[in-house]
Structure 1
């Protein structure tokens, strides 16, 4: 089953530079098969069904010298997201959460919901923006602070293209 490793916080301006060619080679050295990358924001697609996020993060830290949080999703999971009715709106982002949220976290997020986002599948937050992503309060930092876990965002276009490449 194809999967994608979504890397958080790389190649943002001059910060945390990671070359996609070296990233591809690194994943191949870790034993992942049919490795390919998509755009500079850190999307590594591979065909292995099994993966170890802890090992990937450790190898990335050793190679690049800084922490790179990783969230992994399968092709099937991306396709489920794409089928959600809100995903067909104009400005949609998906916040991929590190792990499933708890019942308490679900209640917290439900209390914060306005018309901009929904929590879906306990591992993903789909955001329908009415303004620019950089003008919304619903960013990675917002969800990481509220939930105490890593998250990484991808826009609708990127999710669609990653899914096609899988």
Structure 2
């Protein structure tokens, strides 16, 4: 399908689906849900809740709320969805404070937030205690360097505590996924 005039490309990041046998969202059905909302050029990436689409709707937060409601109506459970445009994703990749080109995709992660987290949220995390793991805060994103991967990261555990991410929707992607989503959302 070709790009429709006046549309922009977005990525939808669904949180916590298709993990451990619960909250199943087949990607073919997710594509159908997005198309049913009137979006074009719908594609999914992997089975972990990454979709790319074009839309004339210009407000990512409104697109996310619309998708959350449609997913709940279709699948019967609520899924937090973040929607970001391709320009934002490219800016996130370009602003990465770690040497992404020198690292394996499993060593670098981006946690996307529904809004900008204040630095006070992270005050209780003693970053020095987790070295060589490190994190940096960007524009509605947290960059995490975890040399042994996310599954073994003690810093990721500390950053995911409810007191740190309270009242925020957040979802994490490894750097391979981030770069692929950048590619898929470019015109």
Shorter-chain TM range is: 0.7 to 0.9
Task: Answer whether contact 1:87 1:156 (CA < 8 A) is retained.
Answer: no
TM-score (norm 2): 0.78
Gaps of 5+ in 1: none
In the TM superposition, what is the alpha-carbon distance from 1:46 to its structure 2 partner?
A: 0.9
- Show CA shifts across 1:93-120 (max 9, x none): 000011122xxx3133255244511111
2:151 pairs with 1:134: yes
Give the secondary-structure state (helix, strand or coil) at the position aligned to 2:12: strand
Q: CA deviation at 1:147?
A: 2.6
TM-score in terms of structure 1 length: 0.87
Question: Does the aligned pair in 2 maintain the 1:37–1:43 contact within 8 Å?
Answer: yes
Distance 2:99 2:178 in 1: 10
Name the counterpart of 1:32.
39
Q: Which residue of 2 aligns with 1:160?
A: 179
Q: Residues 130-150 of structure 1: CA distance to partner in whole angstroms, max 9, x if unpaired?
A: 322112231597155413111
Query: Offset of 1:18 from its aligned partner?
Result: 0.9
Unaligned 5+ segments in structure 2 are 1-7
User: Which runs of structure 2 are paired with 1:74-89 in the superposition (5 Å)?
Assistant: 74-83=85-94, 84-86=96-98, 88=100, 89=102
Q: Report the number of matched residues.
A: 162
Alpha-carbon spacing, 1:33–1:59, altered in 2? closer, same or farther (3 Å) = same
CA contact (8 A) 2:122 2:159 kept: no
Q: For residues 85-96 of structure 1, what are the structure 2 equivalents within 5 Å?
A: 85-86=97-98, 88=100, 89-90=102-103, 91-96=107-112
* 1:100 paired to 2:100: no
Equivalent position of 1:120 in the other structure:
138
After superposition, residues 28-67 of structure 1 pair within 5 angstroms as 28-48=35-55, 49-50=57-58, 51=60, 52=62, 53-67=64-78
Runs of 4+ in 1 over 6 A off after TM superposition: none
